[in-house]
Amino acid sequence: MLFIVGLGLGDEKDITLRGLEAVKKCKTVYIEAYTSLLSFGLSSNGLSTLEKLYGKSITLADREMVEEKADDILSEARGSDVAFLVVGDPFGATTHTDLVVRANKIGVDVKVVHNASVMNAVGVCGLQLYRYGETVSIPFFTETWRPDSFYEKIQRNRTLGLHTLCLLDIRVKEPSLESLCRGRKQYEPPRYMTINTCIEQLLEVEQTRAESGTVHGFILSSSGHFKCSFGGGGSYSEDTDCVGFARLGSEDQRIVAGTLRELQMIDFGTPLHCLVIVGKTHPVEEEMLDFYKLKGGTLEQIENRSA
């Protein structure tokens, strides 16, 4: 049996009793390394907190390993109980669908133990989860690669009055350009997008689109959607209300509501970060957001306060 166990968002205490029970009875325990190193404050040789809690050793599995050794992991799971630990919910922002598909194909039973993910925990800011539109991913821009398909999605959500969850890029174990040229495996240091970088990119794209002078609209029909262009009015601006989240679900989480311009001034501290662009709000949503708003003070004061 393969147990895919969500660890939740904070630390080792966020596993469920069901999850812990499963891990304890497994012969082998893997943990996905994509975000876990960070969220759980682990270093590559420092799994000890979890290992102590579970009473067994844990193998760190990066994406490469999961892809290359999936067959080994699965054949192990055919004969004994194997746990695969995942930060958040197993089917949250990053997914492990491929492993499940492979398991199903060769007849290995899979049990999923759910937990909180960013996708539902953002509800804590008071914006109702059923008032969110499509989630967008904000990728790190490079000199030559500045994909901005998120723009239309945000625009669509805002037009419909819906909130938008922006998931910020994580780059872990990216092969360095040099190593690609030399055919040797060397990796870039891990990078986690901050809310500041995200906002910078969002505003750059808005600026570019505004300068091009047309804003796209959509005619939605059931047979597809057809773009039409008309002038004026962008998707969002410096003054658009947002909520920034750092280390959501952890003891030291930070949640601040404010305009894009205000949030850009704030140092949210260590990753992971995410951002919600606020749509049309109801009074109860407003009341909750209010508690997360920076009260009084100029931008300079805000900057000092959060430094």
Find the binding residues for its own copies in span 284-303 (CB under 8 A). 284-285, 287-288, 291
With binding defined as CB under 8 A, does residue 220 bind its own copies? yes
State which residue, 13 or 185, has the beta carbon closest to its own copies: 13
Residues in contact with 28: Cβ distance below 8 Å, sequence separation at least 6, in sequence order: 59, 76, 80, 82, 83
Residue 250 marked in a binding site:
no
Could you give the CA distance from residue 304 to residue 306 in angstroms, rounded to a whole number?
5
With binding defined as CB under 8 A, does residue 264 bind its own copies? no
State which residue, 184 or 280, has the beta carbon closest to its own copies: 280
Could you give the CA distance from residue 254 to residue 292 in angstroms, rounded to a whole number?
9
State which residue, 112 or 172, has the beta carbon closest to its own copies: 112
With binding defined as CB under 8 A, does residue 21 bind its own copies? yes
Helix (H) or strand (E) holding 273: strand 273-277
With binding defined as CB under 8 A, does residue 156 bind its own copies? yes
Could you give the CA distance from residue 6 to residue 279 in angstroms, rounded to a whole number?
30
272 cis-preceded (ω within 30 degrees of 0): yes
With binding defined as CB under 8 A, does residue 24 bind its own copies? no
Could you give the CA distance from residue 196 to residue 5 in angstroms, rounded to a whole number?
32
CB of 206 to its own copies, least distance (A): 11
With binding defined as CB under 8 A, does residue 158 bind its own copies? yes
Which two three-digit tokens encode residue 106? Answer: 């060769």
Taking alpha carbons only, the member of 25, 19, 30, 166 closest to residue 89 is 19
Site string for its own copies, 120-139 (x = CB under 8 A): xx-xx-x-xxxxxxxxxx--
Which positions from 25 through 84 interact with its own copies, judged by CB under 8 A?
Answer: none
Beta bridge partners of 83: 3, 29
- C-beta of residue 252 within 8 angstroms of C-beta of residue 245: no
State which residue, 4 or 73, has the beta carbon closest to its own copies: 4
> Quick one: which segment of 112-120, 141-149, 178-186, 299-307 binds its own copies (CB under 8 A)?
112-120
**3-state DSSP assignment of residue 168:** strand
Binders of its own copies: how many residues, by CB under 8 A?
A: 74
Going by the annotation, the residues of the binding site for S-adenosyl-L-methionine are 9, 89, 92, 117-118, 168, 248, 273
